[in-house]
Amino acid sequence: MSAEWRYATVTGTSPLRIRFDGDDDPLDVTPEHLGTAPPLGSRVWVQMTTGAPIIHGVIT
């Protein structure tokens, strides 16, 4: 099984929501995240697997 890596933007914080680059709408699932949840509007690096997406970090 291989993972897919994508860029996204945080569109909501309660619950946490992200929208992948090129998509019109945010995901309907709450992604996992490492450390503190990223703030609204943050650009993030996301790993997609067979489970929930995982935010690995904020792009600065």
pLDDT in tens, 11-51: 999 999 999 999 999 999 999 998 889 999 999 999 998 88
- Distances in Å between the Cα of 6 and the Cα atoms of 14, 28, 40 are 22, 16, 18
Take residue 49 and report the two structure tokens written for it.
């697997």
- The CA-based angle 33-39-42, given to 5 degrees, is 90
Whole-angstrom Cα distance, residue 40 to residue 15? 11
pLDDT of residue 52: 85
Structural domain harbouring 25? 4-58
Q: How many folded domains does the chain comprise?
A: 1
> Cβ atoms within 10 A of the Cβ of 14, count?
7
